[in-house]
Amino acid sequence: MRISTIAFANLRRRKGKALFLVAGMAIGIGTVVALWSLSGSIKDEIGAQLDRFGANIIILPQANSLALDYGGISVSGVSFDVQQLRDEDARRIFEIPYRKRLSVVAPKLLSAVEVEGRPVLLVGVDFSAELRLKRWWRIAGRKPEGEHELLAGYEAARDLGLIEPAGPPANAVPGSSHHRSEEQPEFTITRDRVRIGGREHRVTGVLSQTAGPEDRMLFGALAHVQALAARPGRLSVIEVSALCKDCPVEDIVAQIRQQLPHAKVSAIQQAVRARTEMVERLTRFSVVVSAVVLAIGALMIFTTMMGSVVERTREIGVLRAIGFRRVHVIQGLILEVAAISIAGGLLGWATGMLAGRAALPYFSDGGAGLEVRSSLALVAVVAGLLVGVLASIYPAIRASRLDPSEAVRHM
């Protein structure tokens, strides 16, 4: 016979009330577990999507620049000590410790060329990397595959007379293709040949208007553009998309800086901030809802325990009369609640995980999976214990302070 014997025997006697408390606790904890599991999965999914949605790190050649100002008149600046980026730099990025976090490394060479008397920016890219990086690009036609094949931005294509703005299909020349978006036609491709550096190139695709800088560019295979520009192996910029689920992008930036000391490596803060803000919002939402649910659970336990103390005044009085200290009374009541809380926490974890799994398809596009985390079971039990014990402290203290003579009089 120990105090725990009395506590557990009492729970057995009041099965209905104990089950009610366990169920209440399980619902509260289960809601929190489901919420955290769901928000965790959704956070991961959003993070992964944001990470994939464009570059979050940009690498440029290191250069010192000097702004030129003469008598208050600003003259264009000059750059000196310009370092060079090379093909092997793009490969060396994959040697950083966080290389598994690298989703896309897209090297580029920018070169100004003249096409049919017009200056155009020709960008040499690795098309497979570039198209993985720029998932929002929509190509009318197909991506270039051969050395002499190009992809044209919307404005560049329009200025070079490669396309005509949307019109009836009758305006299209024979053999041309007609590009329509889902809602309305955007443009019609009228011709597909251009001469650059004395050689003919075929424009295999035109980008739908993006309102970005790529609208004014032509894109070709990196090696070909390097040859055209007479800058073999040289790069102007490397864009990197890093998956930063569990790591700050700044760490990856630091590692790339270490790998490429001659380059200027910086995180695109907008992308980082967007991700951080989204994750923080979800976390705040989870915290607030969890706090409300747990507060309701605590209130339920508090009122039940207060009622239980009143109901058990006589019993507590007898225990005090036969020599139980106040601390023994508190111990007995807390043990009861602890047993309920542990059961409720475990049940809550199980139901929360099941509910989370059932609800996930309604909140996710299917990219996220609900990870069954046993560590969350421990958190659920500890949270249940904390809520249960904290909510019972006052009723338990109140019970311990019952005057035994009053309790005996209650008899």
Partner 1 sequence: MPFVVLENVGKLYREKGAASAARVLSGVNLRIREGEFACLMGPSGSGKSTLLTIVGAMSRPSEGRVLVDGIDVYALPEERRADFRREYLGFVFQQHHLMPYLNALENAMLPLATLRLRAPEKRRRALAVLEKVGLANLASRLPNQLSGGEQGRLAIARAIVNDPPLILADEPTGTLDSKTGAEIMDVFLGLNAQGQTIFMVTHNADNALLAHRTIQIRDGRVADGDGADVPASAV
Q: Is 403 in the site for partner 1 (CB under 8 A)?
A: yes
Q: What mask, x for binding partner 1 by CB under 8 A, covers residues 6 to 25?
A: x--xx-xx------------
Distance CA(84)–CA(59), nearest Å, equals 11
Task: Please identify which residue in 137, 154, 187, 324 interacts with partner 1, judged by CB under 8 A.
Answer: 324
Residue 195 half-sphere exposure toward CB, CA atoms < 13 A: 4
Q: What are phi and psi of 160, to 5 degrees?
A: -85, 0
CB 94 within 8 A of CB 102: yes
CA geometry: angle 59, 63, 68, nearest 5 deg: 130
CB 113 within 8 A of CB 119: yes
The residues, ordered by sequence, that sit 6+ positions from 2 with a Cβ below 8 Å of its Cβ are none
Task: Report the nearest approach of partner 1 to the CB of residue 410 (Å).
Answer: 10
Task: Please identify which residue in 92, 98, 315, 397 interacts with partner 1, judged by CB under 8 A.
Answer: 315
Residue 241's SS3 state is strand
CB 163 within 8 A of CB 187: yes
Span from 284-292, 298-306, 364-372, 398-406 in contact with partner 1 (CB under 8 A): 398-406
Task: Report the nearest approach of partner 1 to the CB of residue 346 (Å).
Answer: 24
Span from 66-74, 140-148, 196-204, 320-328 in contact with partner 1 (CB under 8 A): 320-328
Q: Is 323 in the site for partner 1 (CB under 8 A)?
A: yes
Q: Is 321 in the site for partner 1 (CB under 8 A)?
A: yes
Q: What are phi and psi of 195, to 5 degrees?
A: -110, 125
Task: Please identify which residue in 264, 326, 373, 398 interacts with partner 1, judged by CB under 8 A.
Answer: 326
Angle between helices 3-13 and 326-363 (to 10 degrees): 50
Task: Please identify which residue in 138, 143, 314, 357 interacts with partner 1, judged by CB under 8 A.
Answer: 314
Task: Please identify which residue in 70, 73, 322, 366 interacts with partner 1, judged by CB under 8 A.
Answer: 322
| Residue ranges that bind partner 1, judged by CB under 8 A | 1-3, 5-6, 9-10, 12-13, 314-315, 318-328, 403-405, 408-409, 411
